Structure 1
Amino acid sequence: MKKVKVEDAIGMVVAHDLTKIVPGEFKGAAFKKGHIIEVKDIEELKFIGKNHIYIIEMNSEMLHEDQAALELGQAIGGENTYLKSPSEGKVNILAARDGLLKINTSLLYEINYIKDIVVSTLHNNTVVEKDTIVSATKVTPLVVEKRYINQVKDILRNVSGIIDIIPFKVQKVGIIITGTEVYEGIITDKFAPILKEKVSNYKAIVEDVIFVPDDLEKTTNAIEIFKSRGCSLIICSGGMSVDADDLTPVAIEKVALEIITYGSPVIPGAMFMLAYSDDITYVGIPACGMFSKITVFDVLLPRIMAKDKISKREISELSHGGLCLKCNICHYPICPFGK
């Protein structure tokens, strides 16, 4: 710290809170630690009895926390984000659109390994609305060496930030309800309304709901109908177990070019199926999707609707945190399930 006259302190950084006391009215910090003195502050400083103050000495190789946080935010934010002005040494990064939040977590971890650097984000693959705060940046000291900020910029030299918001792209969905007992009216279907509601949250249109018996040819034909109608997501519900009458997985295997998984390490949702063919996603949902409020389908649906291709490895990684606690009051997605 260095003691200087207030008239000479313009552009310098206050080293500690400067207290203002108005008897019976106010007692608190007139200028907080880290504040950069401006010309207009001189009168107020003298009013509170400050002719000299302690400042933090800076040189050309250092940055104030506000400027450092701003440069961090500019470096890590993607095209579909925007920044708020620095406040108390922190810069918030917000979503510029509705969509799916994508975080490059490997680079995020590398950045936070650098001395004095703090970058916090929401979870990767979180559904966000426009103007949601998705990240915050700051540095831990009041002033920081520029070289640490430059290290961050060097890590990101070949990428456009580590944060992006991708839109939901699926516009038309086909739903196939399998099961002879439903097809023949022996029991009432409860699957279709649930699935319609889930996809409607992403502003997609349900092209139609087709009911088929436990018949491989009829199930395959229903899939082909939806393909011909331009559906980019085809959901098949029921018929996903190992029972002799359950043929949904076989039907999906016949039409898909790439089977990602038949089975997931998530409960509920162990018999879930995911496959792709060109621009079409095929999903097989087991009966748990009708009785459980949240399943693996809900965990993956945001990515499916954004056409963010899911790998077998990513399905496997869901095993950690893939057990639903079935709470009396469900707070998903604000819970550990699927995280």
Structure 2
Amino acid sequence: MKFGEIPVGQALGAILAHSVSHTGGVFKKGRVLSERDIAELADGGIGSVYVAQLEADDVGEDEAAQIIAGALAGDNTRVRDAATGRANIMSALDGVACIDVQRINQLNLIDESLTVATVGAFEVAGAGQILATVKVIPYAVKRGVLDIALDILADQPALSVQPLENRKVALIMTSVPGMKASLHEKSQAAMRGRLEALGSTLDEVKITEHRIEAVAAAITAAAPAHDLVLVFGASAIADRKDVIPAGLVEAGGEVVHLGMPVDPGNLMMLGRLGAIDVIGVPSCARSPKVNGFDWVLARILAGLDVTSGDIMGMGVGGLLKEIASRPAPREAGPR
């Protein structure tokens, strides 16, 4: 692509790089100059303009952006028509954004002329939300750049949305002597709000003693009729032998992972009883503010498998905003 300032008389068919005012108004940048345009500019005393002139191996910005966006977009997405070198990919429904981070990075490393920006991997997205934008920086990209990008995306799209499904969820809360009923009410309200926002239903709530045997019995009873079991302990989980994980094991389940590199949310437990996920909910989830538990919850409600390795990989970006009301802030106040 040629770019620069040229005499107006030589600009026929060129792309105007900067907006130009003339006697009849304004020609906006990106306009392909016609014979009539050239005449108006000349009549207005404009002798030269900054333009881009495409060469044989160039692909125009809109065409290139549209092609790349189409190759990127997978299930439950839609691509908007490109304009000004930009093509947006939208979510077609409420769900979780599944992004191949490695291939997005590969695309952005091809050449500075081509960029792809996305929402975060596994971010909850609403229907109609922008998931990604493909932006061509100059007025064209080289055919070779486009070909490399299409090779990267040849096997399958790098962006899709896994739909959130209406899942039946059981909530078990443990209690100890002297525990206020208002704490259970607060926990239940926060959990109901989370689930409803993600399209699922809090189907059953049970309060039981904070003992291994009681937790085991409650999980055993709840699991067969539900898609997910949440256990809110009267105290935080401190070890795999603590009440909640030990109760799950006694029920015949397994602890997949205890703890996570996300704060708030460090003391979450992910477990399974057969095919049913069982989550030991961290105390911070009594607040409706986002914590690490929310990241795992959204994936599970979208039907995505969450592994121990997935949780261990959440550390970058896992230091969330401080919650002023949390009982153990990261740093003590001034003494």
* TM-score relative to the length of structure 2: 0.82
Matched, 1:232 2:233: no
Task: Indicate if the aligned counterparts of 2:237 and 2:268 stay in contact, CA closer than 8 A.
Answer: no
Identical-pair percentage:
22
Q: Which residue of 2 is the match for residue 46 of structure 1?
A: 39
**How many residues were matched structurally?**
316
Matched, 1:216 2:212: yes
Q: Which residue of 2 is the match for residue 97 of structure 1?
A: 93
Q: Which residue of 1 is the match for residue 188 of structure 2?
A: 192
Separation in 2 of the partners of 1:101 and 1:243? 33
Task: Indicate if the aligned counterparts of 1:173 and 1:232 stay in contact, CA closer than 8 A.
Answer: yes
Shift of 1:292: 7.6
Q: 1:312 to 1:243 in 2, by over 3 A?
A: closer
Q: Which residue of 1 is the match for residue 281 of structure 2?
A: 285
Q: Which residue of 1 is the match for residue 305 of structure 2?
A: 309
* SS in structure 1 at match of 2:177: helix
Separation in 1 of the partners of 2:249 and 2:240? 16
Shift of 1:186: 7.4
Q: Which moved more, 1:149-158 or 1:250-259?
A: 250-259
Task: Indicate if the aligned counterparts of 1:260 and 1:275 stay in contact, CA closer than 8 A.
Answer: yes
Q: 1:272 to 1:52 in 2, by over 3 A?
A: same
Shift of 1:77: 1.2
Shift of 1:111: 1.0
Separation in 1 of the partners of 2:67 and 2:240? 61
Task: Indicate if the aligned counterparts of 2:217 and 2:251 stay in contact, CA closer than 8 A.
Answer: no
Task: Indicate if the aligned counterparts of 1:236 and 1:284 stay in contact, CA closer than 8 A.
Answer: yes
Shift of 1:181: 2.6
Q: How does 1:99-248 map to 2 (within 5 A)?
A: 99-115=95-111, 116-159=113-156, 161-181=157-177, 189=184, 190-229=186-225, 231-238=226-233, 239-242=235-238, 247-248=243-244
Q: 1:64 to 1:53 in 2, by over 3 A?
A: farther
Unaligned runs of 5+ in 1: 331-339
Separation in 2 of the partners of 1:280 and 1:123? 27
* SS in structure 2 at match of 1:274: strand
Q: Which residue of 1 is the match for residue 331 of structure 2?
A: none
One-letter identity of the residue aligned with 2:243: L
Q: 1:107 to 1:69 in 2, by over 3 A?
A: same
Separation in 1 of the partners of 2:266 and 2:19? 61
Task: Indicate if the aligned counterparts of 1:118 and 1:138 stay in contact, CA closer than 8 A.
Answer: yes
Separation in 2 of the partners of 1:68 and 1:84? 13
Separation in 1 of the partners of 2:19 and 2:204? 67
Q: 1:113 to 1:258 in 2, by over 3 A?
A: farther
Task: Indicate if the aligned counterparts of 2:74 and 2:159 stay in contact, CA closer than 8 A.
Answer: yes
* SS in structure 2 at match of 1:71: helix
Task: Indicate if the aligned counterparts of 1:240 and 1:249 stay in contact, CA closer than 8 A.
Answer: no
Task: Indicate if the aligned counterparts of 2:190 and 2:288 stay in contact, CA closer than 8 A.
Answer: no
Q: 1:19 to 1:147 in 2, by over 3 A?
A: same
Separation in 2 of the partners of 1:52 and 1:64? 26
Shift of 1:60: 3.7
One-letter identity of the residue aligned with 2:71: A
Shift of 1:209: 0.4
Shift of 1:227: 1.9
Separation in 1 of the partners of 2:240 and 2:136? 61
Q: CA RMSD in A?
A: 3.2
One-letter identity of the residue aligned with 2:109: Y
Shift of 1:322: 2.7
Separation in 2 of the partners of 1:89 and 1:226? 53
Separation in 1 of the partners of 2:162 and 2:309? 21
Q: 1:106 to 1:209 in 2, by over 3 A?
A: same
One-letter identity of the residue aligned with 1:119: V
Separation in 2 of the partners of 1:225 and 1:208? 11
* SS in structure 2 at match of 1:310: coil
Separation in 1 of the partners of 2:268 and 2:191? 15
Separation in 2 of the partners of 1:243 and 1:157? 46
Q: 1:35 to 1:236 in 2, by over 3 A?
A: same
Q: After superposition, what is the alpha-carbon deviation per residue over 1:246-266, rounded to whole angstroms, capped at 9, x for unaligned?
A: 511111223465532112233
Separation in 1 of the partners of 2:178 and 2:38? 79
Of 65, 80, 90 in structure 2, the residue corresponding to residue 84 of structure 1 is: 80
Separation in 1 of the partners of 2:252 and 2:75? 34
